[in-house]
C-alpha cells in the first residue's frame, strides 16, 4: 500500500495536513462548546448554510464530548483532500449517557490558502449507553 | 501558510513539538515520571503562592496527587493549537483527554480538557501552564448525567466545569 499518492511539494503537503488536523480538532471542540460561529467558519462557504442547518437539526440538547484521533489525509490535488477520522464521542441524551465509536469520512477543500470542511459522512461503529456493552 | 521557507518550517516544527508535549505529559503521568513531568514545563514555571520552578511544581502538582492514584492512563486526543501571530515563541492549546484512574477501590473515568499555554525556550516548546478542567469524573458503574459538583481537585468524580464554562455553551443553552 502506498500512503502518499500525490506529487505535491512536501512542505506544502505538511502544511496542508497540519491545517486539516487543526480543522478536525477545532470542529470537535467547537461542537462540544456549541461555538456555532467557529463551526460555520470551518465549513466551505458554498455549502455552509446547508451544512449548518443539518448540524443544528441533529445537535443534541445535552452535553457532548468528542475525542478524535488524528485524521489520515489523502490528497487528490493540492487543494482537495479526503480525511478519515476515528474517534469516540459521548452524548447526554435524556437520562442516558451514550457512548459511540465513530468514523468520519471527510472531504476538504482549500480556498485562497485556507482549508475548509466540504462534507462529512458519519459512520457509527457502535452506539450504546455507557453502562451497557456494545 | 505564508512566509519564507524557514518561517514555514518553524511553524510546522512548533505544531509538531506542541502536539508531542501533550503526548509526553500523558506518558509521564502513566509512568509517574515526575522528573520528566517537570522538564516539560519552562524552568521558571509559576506554581502559585509565590513559588516558581520545576521542583516546586513537582511537589505541588505531582506529589500527593500522583501518590494517591495507583493507575493513571491518559489518552490525549483532540488537540487544538493556536500559534500566537504576534509572538512566534508563544502559543495556546486545548487538549481533550480521557483518563482512566485507579483510586483505591475505585476505577474512574475522567473526561478532561486541558487549557495550555506554551513557550519556546532555546528552540524547545514547553508548557508555561496547564489548566485542568473537568467535563466529568465518574466511576465505571456510574452514568455522568446527574453527579454532584466535583470541585476538582477536591474530588476526582462528579460534574465538572465544562461545557458550562464556555460562554458559547451558555448562550446556546439559553437560546434553545
Instruction: Kindly tell me the burial class for residue A133, based on how many C-beta atoms sit within 10 Å of its own C-beta (0-12, 13-18, 19 or more).
Output: exposed
Do B145 and A34 lie within an 8 Å CB cutoff?
A: no
ipTM: 0.93
Per residue, the 3-state secondary structure of A46-65, as one string, reads CCHHHHHHHHHHHCCCCCEE
Q: What is the pLDDT of residues A58-115, one digit of tens each?
A: 999 999 999 998 788 999 999 999 999 999 999 999 999 999 999 999 999 999 999 9
How far from B141 is each of A8, A97, A132, B137, B157, CA to CA, in Å? 50, 12, 10, 12, 12
Chain A environment of B78 (Cβ under 8 Å)? 24-25, 28-29, 66-68, 87
Enter the pTM of the model: 0.94
Beta bridge partners of B112: B97, B134
pLDDT tens track, chain B, 176 positions: 678 999 999 999 999 999 999 999 999 999 999 999 999 999 999 998 899 999 999 998 888 778 777 888 999 999 999 999 999 999 999 999 999 999 888 999 999 999 999 999 999 999 999 999 999 999 999 999 999 999 998 898 999 999 999 999 999 888 76
What number of other Cβ atoms are within 10 A of residue B152's Cβ? 18
Distance CA A13, CA A111 (A): 15
Q: Which of A30, A32, A71 to mutate to test the interface with B (most CBs of B within 10 A)?
A: A32
Q: State the nearest Cα–Cα gap between B56 and chain A, in angstroms.
A: 32
CA B97 to chain centre: 8
Q: Is A11 on the interface with B (CB under 8 A)?
A: yes
CB interface of B with A, residues 8-47, below 8 Å: 8-9, 11-12, 15
Strands A72-77 and A80-93: antiparallel
Q: Say if CB B149 and CB B158 are below 8 A apart.
A: yes
Amino acid at each position: 500500500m502506498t500512503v502518499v499518492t500525490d506529487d505535491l511539494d512536501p512542505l506544502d503537503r505538511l502544511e496542508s495536513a497540519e491545517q486539516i488536523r487543526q480543522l478536525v480538532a477545532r470542529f470537535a471542540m467547537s461542537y462540544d462548546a456549541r461555538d456555532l460561529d467557529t463551526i460555520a467558519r470551518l465549513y466551505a462557504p458554498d455549502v455552509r448554510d446547508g451544512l449548518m442547518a443539518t448540524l443544528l437539526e441533529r445537535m443534541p440538547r445535552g452535553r457532548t464530548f468528542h475525542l478524535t484521533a488524528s485524521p489520515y489525509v489523502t490528497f487528490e490535488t493540492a487543494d482537495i483532500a479526503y480525511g478519515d477520522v476515528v474517534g469516540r464521542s459521548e452524548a447526554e441524551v435524556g437520562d442516558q449517557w451514550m457512548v459511540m465509536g465513530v468514523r468520519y469520512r471527510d472531504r476538504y477543500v482549500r480556498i485562497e490558502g485556507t482549508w475548509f470542511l466540504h462534507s462529512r459522512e458519519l459512520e457509527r461503529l457502535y452506539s450504546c449507553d455507557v453502562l451497557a456493552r456494545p | 501558510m505564508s512566509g519564507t521557507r524557514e518561517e514555514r518550517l518553524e511553524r510546522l516544527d512548533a505544531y509538531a513539538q506542541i502536539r508531542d508535549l501533550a503526548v509526553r505529559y500523558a506518558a509521564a503521568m502513566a509512568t509517574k515520571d515526575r522528573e520528566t513531568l517537570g522538564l516539560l514545563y519552562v524552568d521558571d514555571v509559576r506554581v502559585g503562592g509565590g513559588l516558581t520552578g520545576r521542583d516546586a511544581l513537582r511537589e505541588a502538582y505531582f506529589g500527593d496527587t500522583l501518590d494517591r492514584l495507583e493507575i493513571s492512563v491518559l489518552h490525549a486526543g483532540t488537540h487544538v493549537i493556536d500559534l500566537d501571530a504576534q509572538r512566534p515563541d508563544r502559543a495556546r492549546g486545548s487538549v481533550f483527554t480521557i483518563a482512566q484512574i485507579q483510586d483505591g477501590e475505585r476505577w474512574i473515568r475522567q473526561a478532561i480538557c486541558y487549557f495550555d499555554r506554551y513557550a519556546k525556550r532555546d528552540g524547545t516548546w514547553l508548557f508555561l501552564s496547564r489548566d485542568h478542567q473537568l467535563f466529568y469524573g465518574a466511576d465505571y458503574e456510574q452514568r455522568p448525567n446527574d453527579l454532584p459538583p466535583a470541585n476538582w481537585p477536591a474530588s476526582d468524580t462528579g460534574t465538572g466545569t465544562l461545557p458550562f464554562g464556555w460562554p458559547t455553551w451558555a448562550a446556546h443553552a439559553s437560546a434553545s
